[in-house]
Amino acid sequence: MEFGLISFHLQNTPMFILEKLSFSEDDAIEFVRKVTSGCPSVTELIVLSTCNRTEFYFSISGNYPEIAAQVYTALFERVAEYSGLPVENFKFYAKIFNDNEVIQHLFQTTAGLNSLAIGETQIQGQVKNAYQVAVQNQLVTSHLGAIFESALKAGKRVRTETRLGQIQISLSGLAIDFLTASSKFDHEINAIIIGTGKMAQLAASHMKNKGIKNIQVFSRNAESRQEKFSKYGAVVLPFSSLNQALYTADIVFSAYGSEVKFIDKTLLSQVNRKSGHALHLIDIAMPRDIDTDVLDLADVKLIDFTEIKSNGYRDERLSSDDLARAAEILHEEMDEYYENQRIRQVSGVISALRQKVTAAGETELNWALRRFENLDQHDQQILEKLINKLTSRILREPTRVLREKASAGQAAGLMQSVGDLFDIRVQN
């Protein structure tokens, strides 16, 4: 079993392309089913789609060198079909990872070390959700599942044993920090948040910590969302009243992820805003909620992923010691994953060997019972115990050696020899 990964990240992929490659949960499920039904060599596939990345993690059965090109071609063709983009328009931006590279990348991603906001916490939940969706829809097996479970365990350790969990770094906070550092306000700020998801809640929390008191949150289900935002001093209002609120807004934060951009130059031109009253827009949705044509208007500023990426940013509270300790934890957890996989692999050989020897013992026992028909029940039981003891004794030393060699990472050649000697073939 070999692992593969196709990764599109905002660090190397233009925003307008990444938007086209964004997946909802339902889209991801349908995509995976189409790929696995059309390309049987892909035995499992997980789509991780967040606001700054889309990644396809998969496993391949068969002779990897021979079928790898075929598999990648099939995946790119499916991505083209889904996105409506020709393959040549996005293939250039894809980063390809194979086998151990896939494992290292997922561990680092889950820990937040591959994010625009280094150490961000939300990615842990996003990886977990992508994995759970795959499990619930039977799109993943124990092979790829073991990597995700180990990566999630590693990410949890990083946030528990370093300050990354205490600092609560987020893309929402990064964008707000970037805005407040680059803009000055000489009056009490009026802030708008569009959407009520996790990123919106993180934005409300960060605004409160920044001393912003007037926070209005807009939702299509305002009444049911108020409880989530009361602790931030925010008021949740119906989406229909957004245009009116734009008249006095200083900051608009959006992480809604609409299929259609609902704030653009035309809308803002219709809002009778105060002359000289600057409007600061933050858009960290995927796909984007705010059209870049708003920049044609006077006194309108826009911060989106492109702006954040081009300027670069790292939370000043995050030290090099924190990152070094996080890297140590990831190495420890990856070592444990590899050891578990070696033991799992050798356990399959041990199990197959046990079945082989046990079957041989049962065959000889049945022959003996037929040969000595006059044995009473007590003697038959003695004979059965004798065969079982012999089986256990024969297997004891090979089992011990195989497990020891597996723990030391030296079992590959021995497993091959056992397989050849006893005609055992175990699927990795």
The pLDDT tens digits for 4-47 are: 999 999 989 999 999 999 999 999 999 999 999 998 899 999 99
Mean pLDDT, rounded, for 136-148: 93
What tens digit of pLDDT does each residue of 238-277 get? 999 998 899 889 999 998 888 889 999 999 988 866 656 7
Higher pLDDT, 147 or 339: 147
Per-residue model confidence (pLDDT) at position 92? 95
Query: 43 by DSSP, 3-state: which?
Result: strand
Task: Compute how many other C-beta atoms are within 10 angstroms of the C-beta atom of residue 35.
Answer: 22
Per-residue model confidence (pLDDT) at position 315? 66
Q: Return the percentage of the chain with pLDDT > 90, whole number.
A: 49
pTM value surpassing 0.75: yes
pLDDT at 369 over 90: no
Mean pLDDT, rounded, for 209-224: 90
Q: Return the percentage of the chain with pLDDT > 70, whole number.
A: 95
First CA to last CA across the chain, in angstroms? 6
Higher pLDDT, 347 or 92: 92
Mean pLDDT, rounded, for 355-377: 83
Query: 118 by DSSP, 3-state: which?
Result: coil
Per-residue model confidence (pLDDT) at position 426? 64
pLDDT at 155 over 90: yes
What tens digit of pLDDT does each residue of 266-322 get? 999 888 666 567 899 999 998 889 999 999 998 899 998 877 776 655 667 778 888
What span, in angstroms and rounded, lies between the C-alpha atoms of 55 and 8?
6
Q: How confident is the model at residue 72 (pLDDT cuts 50, 70, 90)?
A: very high
Which of 108, 111, 201 minimizes the C-alpha distance to 160?
111
Q: How confident is the model at residue 395 (pLDDT cuts 50, 70, 90)?
A: confident
Q: Which domains does the chain show, CATH number per domain?
A: 2-168 (3.30.460.30), 171-310 (3.40.50.720), 338-422 (no CATH)
Burial classification of residue 120, based on how many CB atoms lie within 10 Å of its CB (0-12 exposed, 13-18 middle, 19 or more buried): buried
What span, in angstroms and rounded, lies between the C-alpha atoms of 392 and 215?
71
Per-residue model confidence (pLDDT) at position 427? 61
Q: Is 271 within 8 Å of 297 (Cβ atoms)?
A: no
| Chain centre distance of CA 224 | 29
Higher pLDDT, 188 or 418: 188
Average pLDDT of the chain?
88
Mean pLDDT, rounded, for 217-239: 91
pLDDT at 97 over 80: yes
Which residues, at least 6 apart from 119, have a Cβ–Cβ distance to it below 8 Å?
Answer: 111, 112, 113, 164, 167, 169, 315, 318, 322, 323, 326
Per-residue model confidence (pLDDT) at position 54? 97
Which residues, at least 6 apart from 197, have a Cβ–Cβ distance to it below 8 Å?
Answer: 255, 256
